[in-house]
């Protein structure tokens, strides 16, 4: 499973960097990329792959193959799904 993290803006990127979140995310094995690269190069979803995203930019082929399964969800759902490896209701992870 690949985990790509794309901060929504430069301000979000800088704040996440300041708080050390980007280092934690990278240390966990994720690839931190920028919005310009989203859907290109490492962010391309291949045929038969499944993607869950909180991005609001989605149209046929935007994220790669038209044969990929793309799911749009709330950021909390995307984060919970990254933890479990499958689409997960974030309330199920609450302690």
The DSSP code sequence of 3-50 is -EE--SSHHHHHHHHHTTHHHHHHHTT-EE--TTTTTSGGGPBPTT-E
pLDDT, residue 17, reads 95
Return the ∠ at Cα 42 (arms to 39 and 44), rounded to 5°: 40
d(CA 69, CA 8): 22
Tens of each residue's pLDDT in the chain, 95 residues? 788 888 888 899 999 999 999 999 999 988 888 765 555 556 678 899 888 888 877 777 888 889 989 899 999 999 999 889 899 999 999 86
Q: What is the pLDDT of residue 72?
A: 92
Q: Please state whether the predicted TM-score (pTM) of the whole model is above 0.85.
A: no
What pLDDT score does 61 carry?
Answer: 80
């Amino acid at each position: 499973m690949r985990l790509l993290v794309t901060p929504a803006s430069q301000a979000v990127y800088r704040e996440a960097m300041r708080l050390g979140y980007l280092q934690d995310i990278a240390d966990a094995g994720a690839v931190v990329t920028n919005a310009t690269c989203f859907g290109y190069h490492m962010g391309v979803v291949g045929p038969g792959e499944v993607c869950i995203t909180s991005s609001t930019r989605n149209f046929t082929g935007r994220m790669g193959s038209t044969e990929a399964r793309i799911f749009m969800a709330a950021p909390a759902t995307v984060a919970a799904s990254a933890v479990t490896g499958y689409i997960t209701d974030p309330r199920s992870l609450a302690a």
